Structure formats: C-alpha cells, structure tokens
C-alpha cells in the first residue's frame, strides 16, 4: 500500500498528462511512473487495460480520466476543478468531453498522417516505453507501433478524406483559445476547470509533434505558452468561479459551436450506427462527409452527457438553455 497516489502513464498519452496536470494543480502528492514493460502488470488491475492508471493511497486502482477527475473532486475539497454552479459544471464537462473524444482525432491525425510525424512520434513513443533498451530494439518497436497506428487510421476516422474537417476544427479551437488568452486565462473564472485540462491533454501532444506544433506556434503562440503554464499550475492561486448569470466568454461560445456543429452531430451518428451494429457510418460535418467506424464508448459519452443535462436543476438548465440553443448543442442534448 502506498502512502500517496501513484500515476502510471506516458508523456505521449494525452490522458496521462491531463491527469498529471490535474494532480499538480490540485497539489495532491503523487508519484509519476512512466509505464514500461517492467511495471505493465499494473494494467491487469483495471477493467480496461489503458493508461493512465491511478493507484490510490488505499491500494485500489482506477483509470478513465473523466471519472478520475470527478472522484478526486469528491475526495479532496481544496482547489477543485468542477465549477460550483451546476450549469457551468455541465458546460465545462461538455467541452472536456469534446476534447477527450474529438480532440484525440486531431492528435491521431497529425501524429500519423505525414511521414515526418510518423517517424518522429513512433521513435519517441518507443523510447518512452523502452528507455535504454538499445537503438535496435527501439527502432524495431517504433516500426511495429507506427504500422499498427497507421493501420488504425480509417477505423478512428482520421483518413485523408476526413482531413479538411479535422484541420478546420483544430484551427477553430486554437483561434478560440488564442483570442481569449489576450485578456483572460481560464473559461469559467479565475481558476482552471476540467474543460481546460481536457483541452490541455490533447493540445499538449499537438504542441510536441512536429507538424501541428509548427501550426500552433504560427497560429496560436499564446496557446503554446498557456499549455506550458498549465502543465504545472501548482503555483496558480485559484480565484472565484465566473458569475453564473454573466454571459459566457467568447471562447466558451466558440468551443460550444464546435461541439454543436461537429462533435454532437458526430456522437449522434455514432450512436445510431452503434445501435444498428453497422460497420461504419457517414455524417455531414462542416459541409463535408465524415466517415468512420462506430465506437461503443462514444455512444456512452453521449448517453452520459444527456443524463447529466437532464439531471440539472431547473434554474441551471434554463440559464444555459439560450447558450446551448445559440451554439447548436440544444437538440442533441435534449434527444
């Protein structure tokens, strides 16, 4: 049994660095362990063997970054990242969910589409896992991992035909944050929420990989600097949450429009395809066809969002309804 938390993950995993940044910001003592062949048995401690895996001080284990965030908020009162107001908490969760499920498409696409990114990222990730195993072993592992990931691109919807939608959403997310960072730091007040950490997890990878990093430095240098601050925000002293009655920030509206125009329509099409047992589905996004295979987990994401929205107190639901309608999110959440 550990006397503190222990986080098993990888620097190349958006969800690993996301939870690491949350723990750092919240000043929750923990040990970071890079996952390797030497400690990979920890994956047997959780139902689905994916990183990050968080070992709790009582010796229990859990993974899946969003439930971990909510669990940590219940366990630790200080420096919580779920807004106090239920309406704002829902909006933050919606943005975080979009970052987790759509943002990973951005990361996956830019990481594995172009040969320069394939070579750099596969070697980096192999070295992250194998450490000092020797260059021959790292090269072999890099080739194997690269071939596996490139082979999965169509399955997760990041083939060349979908590139325009993916590229546009990346640029829109960068533009939303870049504009906001000229005068503010966070979306829901003077402190980071789970929305910021969800965005951070994916964008941190894009800031590291060659091609999207160049785009970010050219289009959104403030975002690039912001990600480095959020990587370890233990020195940030949290202020107040935004007044729930105040208008949402323009960045929040812009991010919700991406959700309303891209992410939620995608989730609904995936939900239908999953229920029918279809091998693939096509949905019209930003005036273009977007095709991929269905994922059961993303069907659960839609159900979770709908359940959370339906459970909001009446005053909170009514307060955020105009914003959700204006950004195109309302119908999908009410279905």
Domain membership of residue 134 (yes or no) is yes
Domain membership of residue 80 (yes or no) is no
Please tell me the distance from the alpha carbon of residue 180 to that of residue 192, in angstroms, as a whole number. Answer: 14
Residue with tokens 């060349």: 160
pLDDT per residue of the chain (335 residues) written in tens, 0 to 9: 567 999 999 999 999 999 999 999 999 999 999 999 889 999 999 999 999 999 999 999 999 999 999 999 999 999 999 999 999 999 999 999 999 999 999 999 999 999 999 999 999 999 988 877 788 999 999 999 999 999 888 888 999 999 999 999 999 999 999 999 999 999 999 999 999 999 999 999 999 999 999 999 999 999 999 999 999 999 999 999 999 999 999 999 999 999 999 999 999 999 999 999 999 999 999 999 999 999 999 999 999 999 999 999 999 999 999 999 999 999 999 97
Residue with tokens 């072993």: 137
Task: Kindly state whether residues 183 and 328 are assigned to the same domain.
Answer: yes
Q: End-to-end CA distance of the chain: give it in Å, rounded.
A: 45
Question: Are the C-beta atoms of 187 and 195 separated by less than 8 Å?
Answer: yes
Domain membership of residue 81 (yes or no) is no
Domain membership of residue 287 (yes or no) is yes
Task: Kindly state whether residues 94 and 32 are assigned to the same domain.
Answer: no
Task: Kindly state whether residues 95 and 238 are assigned to the same domain.
Answer: yes
Task: Kindly state whether residues 176 and 140 are assigned to the same domain.
Answer: no
Task: Kindly state whether residues 125 and 218 are assigned to the same domain.
Answer: no
Task: Kindly state whether residues 165 and 311 are assigned to the same domain.
Answer: yes
Q: Residue 100: which domain range?
A: 86-106+159-334
Number of structural domains the chain divides into: 3
Backbone angles phi, psi at 6, to 5 degrees: -135, 120
Please tell me the distance from the alpha carbon of residue 270 to that of residue 264, in angstroms, as a whole number. Answer: 10
Domain membership of residue 22 (yes or no) is yes
Q: Which of 113, 9, 2, 137 is nearest to 56 (CA)?
A: 2
Task: Kindly state whether residues 134 and 260 are assigned to the same domain.
Answer: no
Task: Kindly state whether residues 203 and 275 are assigned to the same domain.
Answer: yes
Which parts of 43-192 fold into alpha helices (H)? 65-75, 86-101, 103-112, 115-130, 135-151, 163-180
Domain membership of residue 118 (yes or no) is yes
Which parts of the chain fold into alpha helices (H)? 14-25, 65-75, 86-101, 103-112, 115-130, 135-151, 163-180, 194-206, 210-219, 221-231, 250-258, 264-276, 296-310, 314-326, 330-334
Task: Kindly state whether residues 44 and 145 are assigned to the same domain.
Answer: no
Task: Kindly state whether residues 237 and 144 are assigned to the same domain.
Answer: no
Question: Are the C-beta atoms of 68 and 84 separated by less than 8 Å?
Answer: no
Task: Kindly state whether residues 42 and 64 are assigned to the same domain.
Answer: yes
Task: Kindly state whether residues 132 and 223 are assigned to the same domain.
Answer: no
State residue 133's pLDDT score. 76
Question: Are the C-beta atoms of 219 and 174 separated by less than 8 Å?
Answer: yes
């Amino acid at each position: 049994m550990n006397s503190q938390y222990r986080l098993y993950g990888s620097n190349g995993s958006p969800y690993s660095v996301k939870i690491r940044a949350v723990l750092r910001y919240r000043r929750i003592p923990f040990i970071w362990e890079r996952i390797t062949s030497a400690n990979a048995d920890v994956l047997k401690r959780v139902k689905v063997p994916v990183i990050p895996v968080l070992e709790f001080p009582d010796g229990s284990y859990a993974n899946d970054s969003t439930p971990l965030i909510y669990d940590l908020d219940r366990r630790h009162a200080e420096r919580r990242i779920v807004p106090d107001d239920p309406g704002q908490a829902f909006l933050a969760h919606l943005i975080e969910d979009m970052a987790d499920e759509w943002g990973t498409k951005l990361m996956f696409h830019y990481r594995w589409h172009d040969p320069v990114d394939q070579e750099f990222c596969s070697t980096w990730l192999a070295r992250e896992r194998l450490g000092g195993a020797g260059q021959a072993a790292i090269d072999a592992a890099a080739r194997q991992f690269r071939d596996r990931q490139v082979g999965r691109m169509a399955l997760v919807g990041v083939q060349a035909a979908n590139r325009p939608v993916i590229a546009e959403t990346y640029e829109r997310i960068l533009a939303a944050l870049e504009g906001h960072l000229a005068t503010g730091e966070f979306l829901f007040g003077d402190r980071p929420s789970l929305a910021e950490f969800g965005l951070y997890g994916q964008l941190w990878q894009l800031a590291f990989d060659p091609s999207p990093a160049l785009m970010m430095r050219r289009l959104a240098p403030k975002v690039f600097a912001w990600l480095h601050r959020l990587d370890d925000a233990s020195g940030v002293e949290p202020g107040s949450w935004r007044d729930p009655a105040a208008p949402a920030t323009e960045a929040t509206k812009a991010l919700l429009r991406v959700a309303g125009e891209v992410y939620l329509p995608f989730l609904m099409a995936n939900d239908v395809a999953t229920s029918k047992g279809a091998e693939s589905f096509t949905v019209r996004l930003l005036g273009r066809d977007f095709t991929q295979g269905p994922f059961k987990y993303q069907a659960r994401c839609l159900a979770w969002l709908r359940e959370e929205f339906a459970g909001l107190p009446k005053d909170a639901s009514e307060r955020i309804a105009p914003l959700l309608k204006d950004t195109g999110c309302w119908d999908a959440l009410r279905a």
